[in-house]
Structure 1
Amino acid sequence: MTSEKFCILLRNCVGKKKEKGLIKSTTSKVDILPGSLLLFIFNDTDHSSNQNICVLETLDPENIEVKCNNEDFDGISKEEYEVLVSIPTCNERMTIYLDKHWLQEGLELNVNDYVYVYDKASSKDLIGIIRYKGAIVDLKGIFFGVEYIYDIGKGISDGVFRKQRYFTCAPNCAAFVALHRIRKCSKPLPTEEAVELVGATNFTNKWNLKIKDRVVWYSDDGPEYGTVKWIGLLPDTRSNEDVTVGVEFDNPVGSGTGKYKDHRLFTAKQNHASLVPIIGLLKAEDISPGPQYEQVDDDVEEQRRIYEDLRLSKENRTSGAGNHYLSKANSPEYFPVAQKPVNPLYEYSRSEQEYLPENLAPKETLIQNSSNSRKIPNNSSQQDTQHDPDLTVGSLVEVMSNRPLYGVIKWIGNLPDQKKPQKLIAGLEMEDEIAAGTDGTFKQHRLFTCPPKKGFFVPLYKCRKDKRFFDDRANQNPSDRSLYFGSNETPDLEGSVSPPSSLHDVASFCGKGKGIQGHHNSCYMDATLLAMFYFTTVFDTILHRPKNAQDIPEYGEVQQVLKEGIVNPLRKHHYVRADKVMKLRRLLDKVGKIPGMMSEEKDPEEFLNLLFNEITQADPFLKICTENRISETDTQHTYFYQLIMEKDERLVLPTTQQLFELSFLQMGIKLKEIPSCLIIQMPRFGKDYKMYKRILPSLELDITDVLENSPRECIICGELAAFECKECYQVHGAGLNTIAFCDGCKQTSHRHKLRVNHKCRMINTPQWYREQYIAHKTQQKRQPIQREKMELFAVICIQTSHYVSFVKTGSGKKAKWIFFDSMADRRGEQSGYNIPEVQECCEIPLWLSDEHFSDIMKNPDDKNLPEHIRRLICDAYICMYQSPTVMKFN
């Protein structure tokens, strides 16, 4: 078939039938219509006229041979043939072929594209989404399996054609059609957006609201009835604002007569006119008592039920313009109906004529038929009530509304105390607070838990996947990303970029729009990534290790996104936009075993374990062994250490040095070797529990006394220690250095009757060191015992579920500190984005030094401490230490 040349006939021609078994045609003549599809056979010569003619053959079973000139047909591709051959009539096929845009559309249409489908029964265009494209049983060519998204019941299939299933949807919601019956939609048409296509006066919303409809707005004093006089977008507002309704109320609860700024929108009685967001209104017939109540469309009933339950809940009431879903109180175009409006509808002389601004003039959308143009219907009487089956608890979603509303599904089910069968309801935790928000409760029932004013309940089918995370076009188009995260782009940087030098002016790192931009519960990752990579290379091995056979398939992609998309731009330009971290979160969610990486609040140790252990398979930083281990297999390898201990009530303001030593002492463990990096998790669990109210991070962490084979000094005489006694802790002073003894001092100290039963453990000092020590002692040269110390370079803090970090801008005592918050500020509300900030903290080394220890102790009230110091010592969650010595050899 690849060598065949397909053709379409452009003019009427006469052909001759070929008899079965005969090579030559018979004398039986047949008319061949324009639009017929044929195969090119060969060129021939008409000897009577000496003209070249082409011999074609039809593709139908009748096998007709046609001789014609070159201008009588066009050659077409195999793909064009496939979409044309399924069209049943030559006339319709010819129409599609001559309309090159329509034909190209058919070639490019694919699954999940939205289309208009011409319905012969109603002579209307229905809106659907392509669920299948390809061949179907017993028929030639390409067909499109379309699921209707608004006109439920208008289809003839549930995705099955001639007993073969091609996709799945609700019964009578699908149809299989050829190209002549469909045209592509530029975008799906939720009814809130239909005003942009059909004009304000013809607008229909999800309650079929239209001009002259009777509506109800629930004020704090009860329902207020009125008549719809105008529907549309307010002049001088953005196209993505919510549709507004001009209402003439029966009672004088409004202001003015129907004029907005310099535009006459409608005419009403004085003080009876108001503009209300469309989502804040209900049709009067849908809430009035009587026989019609039971006949209310399920969609309306569901919205009414949620709306009214929230309205009656005292803690969720709002004085905004009847709008119990969206917070518009601060927007000048929307105002409380029962109060003095921000932009009043000023008095205007009465007139029966209504004026519409030019930008709201009615529009029409046309689609070409084979013979004429026909209008797309202005509205649809039914809505799609089928939810996306991929949406589950944890899914990031967008609530279908003119103004973007984003959240994560925390609960799915039926609302309690509802007698009628319901559609599934989604309980969302919204990105930002909304006026109707709860803390996850519905009336008196707790369905999930979230911060106050962020819980939101909506029918599940009103949710779709958050396009910021799942729409590849938005991820690839810089202009789209700028709408979500701001215009300051951070392109990927190839190669290796070193951390900024500590000699740089710290001011160049600081200010708003610096650091890593936060987005949707990402602060745990933002704070951790900046601490790990901005000014240190201790973790850089995971950025450079080549992929091996044991790595996951996505290893290289994760490494590239981390290195070129986040670390390099951060080090060079001091800023990383949220879409880069979003890309990393998406990968981690895909390949990791921890659910909810894209949407849920996580802790830094969850992220670190996923990154180090599951994905990069980095060498563990810590090798921990028990004091009484039998073999090398008793050694534990880990990436960070959780401080576990019994609380010592004597420690009022413990340091990380004290807690680290106490934990190792009580757990009976040792470090097998000096780590390049030591990540210590404080004795607390998230935001819920803290063992100590305050913890003072030690600028240096002395690990000498927890190393298994490290030389130690006798606490009494200062000679090389040979034994340690855990039971002598706090006897000769504070710290693990007080429990080490040489042989002579151990004997002397343990003659005391209170210590005679103490059990001492031998210290394993390397043989070469003991010999060297003895040699220096013989030469009367005292050999000082070197202390192994690690340097604090970052502290990650948590306060009420929000993570921030304090980071040292280099190595050494002179390096300055910064404070980083990925969500320090915000531009816009629901459709806005976070603004990160980096601040210089020159006071950190002073406050963490011994000189200021007493000053902190004198301030028992945390509020009296400087802001940064308070957050550092009260909210410390993870402390990161590095060994400048070991790092040089990594």
Structure 2
Amino acid sequence: MTTAVIPTSPPPAQGDGNFYYILTDEFPYGSKLFQAGHMCFISERSYMHFISSDTAPKSHLRVTMLQDNSTVTVSVEVLQPLKDREPGFLLAIGNQRERLNCFLERQGLEAAMEAKLGQQVVVNPDLQHFPGIIRYIGRITQATWSPLSPTFFGVELQGDGESRGHSDGSFHGIEYFKCRQNCGIFLPFNKIQFVPGLDSDRMKQEPKPDATRVDPVKVGDAVGFYLDEILTKGLAVGVYKEGNQWFVRVCSEEEGTTDSFRDIPMDSVVKEGLLSPVFEPVGCPGFQKELTRERSQNGDEWESGHPSLDVNSLVQIPLDKGNQVSGTIRWVGNLPKTTHKMAGVELDEDKGITDGEWQGVRYFQCPPKRGIFVKLQSCQPDMRFQCSSSPSLDSSSFNELDSPQVLDNCPPLRDHEAVHILKGQMRGIQGHCNSCYMDVALFSLFSCTSVLDSMLFKPPPMSDRNVQKILRDEIVTPLRRSGFVTAQSVMRLRQQLTEKGQCSSFTTSEKDPEEFLNLIMHHVLGIEPLLRLQSRGRKEQDCYCYQIFMDKQEDLVVPNVQQLVERSFLSSDLKLVEIPSCFIIQMPRFGKEYKMFSKIIPSLELDITDLLLDSPRECSVCGDVATQECSECFKDRTFAMTGLKQYCNSCCRQVHSHYQRKAHRPTKLHVPDEFPGTSQLGSQRVPREKMELFAVLCIETSHYVSFVKYGPEKENWMFFDSMADRHGAETGYNIPTVTLCPEVAKYLELPVAVLAMEQPRDMEGVAKRLFCDAYMYMYQSKKMALYK
């Protein structure tokens, strides 16, 4: 491992003459432990003096922590420089882990850097989304000892957000902007979604109510407009005048994201409250006209409805080219003053206008804004999920399954956004014909992390670009944008892999995740190996997944992943040549039935410091820089069960002076020349290299499922099963489901002895699957992902 060195060219200084940094990993210093996400600074003068000094070690930098104004010496390996106004925006985020995530993922931070006064935004302070306008950008607090103040956004709430704020634009008696009482709010940028700014000439005029309009549209109003004679609903996020015509900027529901907008002439927009309550069955001529054109070619069959449709049938209701709504028929019959047979449909999304009641009579029950009444002849079987009974799944089976490809780059889903988009039935990746191994691997790697997004963008060989295009545009992007991927999209990828691989059964047979990952990463896309390993005195080995090999350990009843990895590396005499950005670990097991351990405890963090080759390590006894390692001490029960055993020269002599350990043969460690001992750094300790767990793949009776960590809190776990349920028999389709499983946190906090006594059948929810059926753990280093 190469030790980082301070660059000779300084990072950009702020206006106060300081250079600011963020810690990308936790860093111990004496009795203190600074978590990843903490921020620090050094003055420009001190920095330049430090660089010009010939005596100071350039692998460490002496900085002042913004947390408590303490001065510490920090390894440059855990420091990332901040530029421009980034320090102020990031400091406003109180949670260090969330702060680091925002820095690494960049999209929100860059939008905040470009934000301007008067810009339309959507804020989500309490898991609710309200429109607003930026009225202030700057500091609202000032620490007496800190050179930097956090930068907040002052937002005037509009529409449904009015009276949901906390001020009138003032904070602690100081006025920063003016608005009505409880219509103002101050937020960090991570609580804001930035609407693309309107042109400056559009911003010059505020809309004035027209005396000829009964109800002018205002920002925040729920509105509807016709697009190719089809009624579309959305939220008004901006109103402006261009020339002599007024326009409304609408975030339309059909787009499925708050980042897509349409500019509609105000004359073509109507407030939701003015929409006809009988729009669904007979009140929308454009809607029915489109259906009539579409169905008139199909003969009399559609007059009474599709012969296979009845209550509980899953249906689609086409609108215009490519636009449609989907749901489940809950009622079929005749409504007053209608001549056609009608269907009451519960929609999959809040795009209806009823809860199952029509003109004061209840026909079925569903959540508000989920119900709709349409002619039965307007419904057709939901072809998104229909699968051929043939296991070969001929391409003609999916002719109507094609979903539009989304060609832009969508970031991974995190926190509340992940819950909003991914949770529920028909969410995740739809399974079909033994595809669960691939479904869970793709969901785990791409839903809530970007650690392997290089697979989507790094140019592959010309002959394999179609594989990358399918993976990026038909699987990952739809998953992150709408939360669902059809079985047909995955089947196209499987067909491509069958052509590229040595095996002709990728479209039909059961496989294992590592077989799929090795094929697509190495043989098809040709990305660099995730792991570089070396055994003592031997040539380096490259691989993408690491299989734990070990003998049965009688002293390990309920091991954790940290213990298993350390013992496997020790028994194979292996070291990591460099810190991996992604570490995929297969648990010790034989086939799919035999498990070496009845339970395995997930290690939320994997400490790989002592697994690195030629990296500084810490003495297990005194904390000084270690110079010798003893593999025989690792097995000594006198010492802790976790952690390889290495010592400084003094402690090594003392430990091995005991008669039971005199026969041990310690081996010498290589200490980088750039890394000094404790005597030179005072209380400086060896920095720990840790990776965080982001997904676990599990298997039971040949079926794979996965757990994904979608946020920083201990309860932020979701469970994915691509074949959780099924509709119909042989000619039916699988229903993928994503559920939240906060109960996992309860068991992770139990003492090992208590967890060992837990009966799997008595464990709450799906926790049993995580602890008893783990097959593959996935860890990431966000710091290293910046470079790979």
TM-score (normalizing by structure 2) = 0.50
Q: Whose RCO is larger (CA < 8 A, sep 6+)?
A: 2
TM-score (normalizing by structure 1) = 0.44
Which structure has the larger Rg? 1
